[in-house]
Amino acid sequence: MTLVKAVSSPNYLTNLIIGLLSFTALVPIINILVDPTEVFGTDVFPHSFQINDRFRKTEHLLENRDKYSGFLMGSSRMGYIDPSLFSSKLNRGEAYNLNLSSANVWDYLEMTRFLLKEGFDIELLVVQMDITLHYGDRLRYQHHPRFDGTSRTRFFVNNLFSFPYKSLAGKIWFNLIGRDSVQMEWTTGLRSRPWEEASIKRDHEAYLKHEVSFSRKKEPWQRGIREEFKSATDKSVLAVRELLLLGQEYDFSIYVFVTPHNQHYLDDFSWEEFQYFLVSLSEITEFWCFAGYNSITTDDRNFYESSHYRPFVGALVSQRLLQDRNLRTAEDFGVFISPSSLREALDGLRFGFEKKR
């Protein structure tokens, strides 16, 4: 039967209405039950796969407006620094680790503006800078409706009727095998990787051997500065400048540091690019640089994979930032860069590059 004939059959209309109503009910039921991005908080499937941390963290902060006055801003790499270590620098509240998946400095800037608009009394920002080729596509990420200035109802309706099949399948699979991609502690903002930590505890060498990012094939070394890199760096530095101006306007302190990138991550960039990044940033602020080939970043045991460092590296970073005198770590981990120390710092870092390559 053709569709033309089917349309005039009474069965067609009945079946069509049943089909439409069933699908209209089925999609939200699946979304609520599985909760693929954890926006509904149903917990029927306890292990997480993809988490909309932008929504969940903003939601938590809005519910606890007076609790926090210090914020650690960064991408997921920032997620392994305990915010309580910065409490000594705060008078009016606690610190919160506001790391966001795949965030860039634009996110930190917009999030800071949002917090100020919402009346948060900011005392301190700790800003993590990543060396990256791309500035990122922020439109991919779904923010909290209040951040976007959109309706809360629309946000939930969008999530009810969307079908993120990869996230749905991933979450179901992770719950079948009983593991989390990452765990989030919403009251502190910290991330944790219990599955990886357990594997490391069992047999660290085997873990390192099986982690593909540590053994990927080396590309030829980059030379010169790629246009995309220059553009991404210029935009990042511009956003940091905006953050610094906000700091002056609203009277809060800002610590800036360059994340300790693993050696395999750093291998993708040329010395010229690395230098361009540091020089550009030094033109607007003093900062700590933990990137470069040093004894922490060249030891893969300090990382889960080539992108994320483990919590004790985060503790070392915060101790450096807080100038903890009890710090016992490799001397070459972390270089403070200011206009006066730039030349010397670059010489040291270049030596690391030359030695490695």
Partner 1 sequence: MLFNSYEFIFAFLPFTWLIYRIILGARYAEASIAWLVLASLFFYGWWNPAYLFLIVASMSANFIIGLFLEDFSRPPVLRKALLILGVSLNLGLLGYYKYTGFILENAIWLFHISIDVPQIVLPLAISFFTFQQIAYLSDAYRGEMKEYNFLHYCLFVSFFPQLIAGPIVHHKEMMPQFASIRGWSVRSSDYAAGLSFFIIGLFKKVVIADNLALFATPVFDAADSGASLSMFVAWSGALAYTFQLYFDFSGYADMAIGAARLFGIRLPFNFNSPYKAKNITEFWRRWHMTLSRFLRDYLYIPLGGNRKGANRRYVNLMITMLLGGLWHGAGWNFVIWGALHGGYLVINHGWHSLSRKLTFTRRLPLGRWSSSLAISLTFFAVVIGWVFFRAETTSGAFLMLESMLAINSPEEIDVFHNLGPGFCIKAGIWILPAALVALLLPNSQEMIDSYKASNQYSLGSVCIPSLSAGAWALAVSVMYVVALVNLGGLSEFLYFQF
Residues within the interface to partner 1 (CB under 8 A): 1-4, 6-20, 22-24, 26-27, 154, 157-158, 161-163, 228
Distance of alpha carbon 356 from the chain centroid: 28
* Minimum CB distance to partner 1 smaller for 13 or for 206: 13
Q: How far is the CB of 19 from partner 1 (least distance, A)?
A: 3
* Minimum CB distance to partner 1 smaller for 229 or for 309: 229
Q: What three-state secondary structure class fits 309? A: strand
Q: How far is the CB of 40 from partner 1 (least distance, A)?
A: 15
Q: How far is the CB of 225 from partner 1 (least distance, A)?
A: 15
Q: How far is the CB of 202 from partner 1 (least distance, A)?
A: 40
CA distance 261 to 303: 9
Compute the half-sphere exposure of residue 164: CA atoms within 13 Å on the CB side of its CA: 23
* Minimum CB distance to partner 1 smaller for 133 or for 342: 133
CA distance 339 to 285: 9
Residues 6+ apart with CB under 8 A from 135: 104, 106, 231, 232, 235, 236
Q: How far is the CB of 139 from partner 1 (least distance, A)?
A: 9
Sign of the dihedral through C-alpha 158, 107, 232, 292:
negative
* Minimum CB distance to partner 1 smaller for 84 or for 151: 151
C-alpha distances in angstroms, 194 versus 91, 146, 197, 241, 303?
Answer: 33, 32, 5, 37, 14
* Minimum CB distance to partner 1 smaller for 47 or for 230: 230
Contact 141, 54 (CB under 8 A): yes
In the chain, the amino acid numbered 336 is F
C-alpha distances in angstroms, 163 versus 22, 46, 101, 159, 175?
Answer: 15, 19, 20, 8, 18
Residues 6+ apart with CB under 8 A from 130: 74, 75, 77, 104, 258, 259, 261
* Minimum CB distance to partner 1 smaller for 22 or for 88: 22
Which backbone phi and psi does 210 adopt, to 5 degrees?
A: -85, -15
Q: How far is the CB of 38 from partner 1 (least distance, A)?
A: 17
Contact 54, 147 (CB under 8 A): yes
Q: How far is the CB of 142 from partner 1 (least distance, A)?
A: 9
* Minimum CB distance to partner 1 smaller for 11 or for 326: 11
Contact 214, 264 (CB under 8 A): yes
* Minimum CB distance to partner 1 smaller for 14 or for 87: 14
Q: What three-state secondary structure class fits 73? A: strand
In the chain, the amino acid numbered 353 is F
* Minimum CB distance to partner 1 smaller for 19 or for 224: 19
* Minimum CB distance to partner 1 smaller for 80 or for 229: 229
Q: How far is the CB of 16 from partner 1 (least distance, A)?
A: 4
Q: How far is the CB of 21 from partner 1 (least distance, A)?
A: 9
Q: How far is the CB of 348 from partner 1 (least distance, A)?
A: 32
CA distance 308 to 53: 17
